[in-house]
Structure 1
Amino acid sequence: MAINVDKYKDSLVKAWKDVLDDKSSTDWALFGYEGQSYDLKVVSTGDGGIEELREDLSGGKIMYGFCKVLDPKTSLSKYVLINWQGEGAPPHMKGTCVNHLRHVQSLLKGAHITYNARTEEEVDEELISDKVGRSSASVYSFVDRSQVTPEPSNPVSAQYTRIIPSREINTVERDKFWADEEQKERVRQETERKKKEEEIRKLEEERINREMVEMVKRESEQIEQAPIKPARNGIGDVIGRENTVKQLSEQILQGNSHNKGNSEQSQDKGASEVIRSKGLSEQISSIEGSNPNEVHKRLSEQILNGVGEQILSNSKQKEESKGASEQTIEHTSDSVTNGKAVINGDAAVYEENGVEEIEGPGQQAQALYDYQAADETEISFEPGDIITHIDQIDAGWWQGLSPDGTYGLFPANYVQLLE
């Protein structure tokens, strides 16, 4: 239910103005509702201050008080609107009258603060004055004009002194000031330069660390993708031992034929090629499924026997006929035909003059991964290289000719055969 202020508006306005008027002795006015209605009327007025106002308050009603108090900080009169809600007032009245407060504030204008109270102890002059003092933003002190002592005034001088800027400004202090400013500016620029260099260094370190991490990651991915290198099962050891025995045989032949003529050198060379062809043919044809130690022993015996026979034959030929220019040593290997040594049907052949001759590319394969030779018996290649003349001597290791002309072993799972 809305509050009604029109019924007794004249008396309400008159009591409110009496409190505001400095010439009037009235310093408070109390307003309340008429009976059970919401018609606002004047309950009482007085000039005894807050103490007198408190005596007219009723604990079972909703009332509004408008009073004048003295601000302790500014010594000026301040006006307070008291919103009284007695503890014995009906609950429905308390809830309804909460919305009436803004209408009362619009009617009783000029209040500096609104003070809420429920008991008579809360309506205390000291409490209200303290709240009024806290609401003041400034502290003023007013004194009578009669108490102000005027300062003695000197007679006005007629002499005028011209101001000279060069005398007023101290050049030493000025130069010192600008020198200090320049020093501060240099320090500031140096600090900024060091800060930028530090930022650039940090960015460079972060970039290098990031690149290192990416490089390690790429290498780890490549390692994971690359196939596992198969075991050689003694193939490289056998070929290495054969090379050692071959070199020993050549040294023996060269030592025994040091004083022979050109014809005898040709015979030694042909014998060496025969022994080499025979040794390689027997080694490669029997390497699969054989013990590497047995293969090496058998190969060494054959080569040494061939070298001994060749030395005896050369001595006998020298005694019988020194005029013979060349005598061809009969090849004992079944794989030697028409002056050439064929290794297990491979396209790689050896002529009598010791020059390796290639007939056709043979079986070819393309490299899938990069591989570097572990020793002289293996070949190296890069992804995409074509390997020719392949001999599949083992399930995990093959022999072939690399693009750089090297013939040797390589892992089979690193390449892909070409049709």
Structure 2
Amino acid sequence: MASSSASTAAPAAPNSLSLPPSQFARLQPHAYLLAHLSPPSSSNQPSIRANGRAPSQFRVTSANAGSLTHTNGSAVVRLGDTTAVCGVRAEILHTDDIASWSVSQSTNANKRRRIGESEKETEAKDEEDRAHIEDLNLLVPNISLSTGCAPGFIPSAPPSALAQSLSHQILSLLHTSRLVQAEDLRIWYQPPNLGPEEAQQHNDEEQMDLDAGANEEETKPAEIKAFWVLYIDIMLISLAGNPFDAAWASVLAALRDTKLPKAWWDVDNESILCSDDVKESQKLSLRGLPISSSFCVFEADAAAGWRAVVIPDAEEQKVQDSKHGSQQQKWILADPDGYEEGLVQERVYLVVDKEEGKTVIVKMEKLGGWTVDSEDLRQLVDISAQRWDEMKRILDQC
């Protein structure tokens, strides 16, 4: 009896101070991420995020074009657990339905008559292209988050502030990058020249008009009869952080997949006709390949952002700290997920392109905070250039 009781050991009491990682992440999210990014110096481990990525590492990205039917172009882009679906629909806008079309055409004609130098003619043409794209609203992006993509977005709900902000960002980038050329969206009509045989078929009054205009140019100028309007619809079917990069990548892939049917002005019916032959359709000739890269700044001091708002001389305090060598510890995280976005206040958006091997900054935005300096921005441009090479390879394969 004594031996049996001695062999039966009592179970060890659980440590009441230990918490599973999942509960620690929910109760103390800032401390949980900080513990990953700043491991003990004795461990000799590099900084790693809670999701297992390095600070400058992007999530696994995939793209698939031509996924939707009944669209002129479509694509599905997955950035980690964030997935965006984009479809491009092309509709015809007749110039007769544009109230200010006759006035704008006469103004542009007068400008072209006054300009004689080729360089100024090019500038006038670029300005006309910009006016057609922006003033006539030929590009209409719309993003929808009311798909149950995240717990905070209820299906069939009205557009949220985030959805409207993302739609405005995409439209602004489409205009800034001048990605779509206005010439691809114009539907032209070349009036025929009336020869001698055709002139005899007109009455005397028309014949007098022809005689009066005999000294004019034989070839009549081409006329723009209509435009293609591209409705760019983006739906986020899952949202786990960084929605802008995923949405913009889906727009790029869908526009690269877009084909517009051959269209012409039919004089007899006085309307625009389109060809049913798919072989006659043409792709858009896009300008470059602007790629967006998003970053966020995580600070070791959780109250740094609040202190910058409360203390009037926060900027002076930052300069003094840098002089004394007490620099605030920070990490710039590429492609933040939803968990990381809830812990940061300062964000950086970079859109870059490459021309003849040189990196070109198309757009740059920095929101909230003052920790990112010029040296950090140079490093982010280099990281964005590497991201451009990766995204180009992905988009070329889709």
TM-score by length of 1: 0.17
Higher share in helix = 1
- Name the larger-Rg structure: 1
> Which structure is higher in RCO with an 8 Å CA cutoff and minimum separation 6?
2
Higher share in strand = 2
TM-score by length of 2: 0.17
